[in-house]
Amino acid sequence: MVLDIRRITAAEFDRFIGQPENIHRHFEIIGGEIVEKMVSHPRSSKLGMRVGGRLSVWVEDRGLGVVTGADGGYIVNGERYIPDAAYISKARQPVTPTDAYIPLAPDLAVEVLSLTNDDHEMRIKIAHYTAAGTLVWLIDPDKQRVEVYHPGQPPRILTGDDTLDGGDVLPGFTLTVNSIFAE
């Protein structure tokens, strides 16, 4: 849902989300427009939580950094994004900021498609994430696949018994695609 058709600055966005009627709502800037992040389908939420939960345990056991869920915001190329799950290393962000949006792009962003996602907006987000050096896992519940976007590389499509891995971002982390969609 696009709330404003003109391009908004980061300062205007910060004022907008600070207004009392917006405090408990979730917004992103995508392509210079304010987009409210709506409640997604329970299936999409479950999948984001499943991947985020496994990431969180793996990262915390190794003391590598922070994993955020669907309420964790990041500043990516001047825009504000709220991925379904994300990881940022302790080396890049040694202290968790108290601002609404971490002032850096995550090392890894997990985006789960839902009925409320706009394909054009998602492609803009992926382009901005990868331009900022972020590894992106785009999870498609309907097709039961994961699109993997490494900066500077063509996307890979993983399905079934294929294994999703953390690459250079989280060496050693693996997760089969089937385990993401297992009931």
Domain segments of the chain as ranges: 39-181
Q: Which helix (H) or strand (E) holds 147?
A: strand 145-149
Q: Which CATH superfamily is domain 39-181 in?
A: tt1808, chain A (3.90.1570.10)
The pLDDT score that the predictor gives to residue 183 is: 81
In this model, does residue 4 exceed pLDDT 60?
no
Return the higher-pLDDT residue of 24 and 44.
44
Question: pLDDT value at position 9?
Answer: 73
Q: What is the mean pLDDT of residues 165-178?
A: 96
pLDDT of residue 53 exceeding 80, the answer is yes
Residue 159 CB partners (closer than 8 Å, separation 6+): 143, 144, 145, 146, 177
User: Has residue 46 got a pLDDT over 80?
Assistant: yes
Query: Confidence band (pLDDT; 50, 70, 90) for 33?
Result: confident
The gap from C-alpha 82 to its chain's centroid, in whole angstroms, comes to: 6
Predicted local confidence at residue 123, as pLDDT:
93
Both tokens of 63, joined, read 């003391």
Residues forming beta bridges with residue 130, ordered by sequence position: none
Contact (Cβ atoms closer than 8 angstroms) between residue 75 and residue 11:
no
Q: To the nearest whole number, what is the mean pLDDT of the chain?
A: 86
- Residue recorded with tokens 């917006």: 22
- Predicted pLDDT of residue 38: 56
Confidence of residue 147 (pLDDT cuts 50, 70, 90): very high
CA distance 156 to 150: 9
Q: Give residue for tokens 């990868």.
A: 130
Note the pTM of the prediction, 2 decimals. 0.80
Residue 120, strand partner residues: none
Q: Which residues contact 157 (CB under 8 A, 6 or more apart)?
A: 145, 146, 147, 148
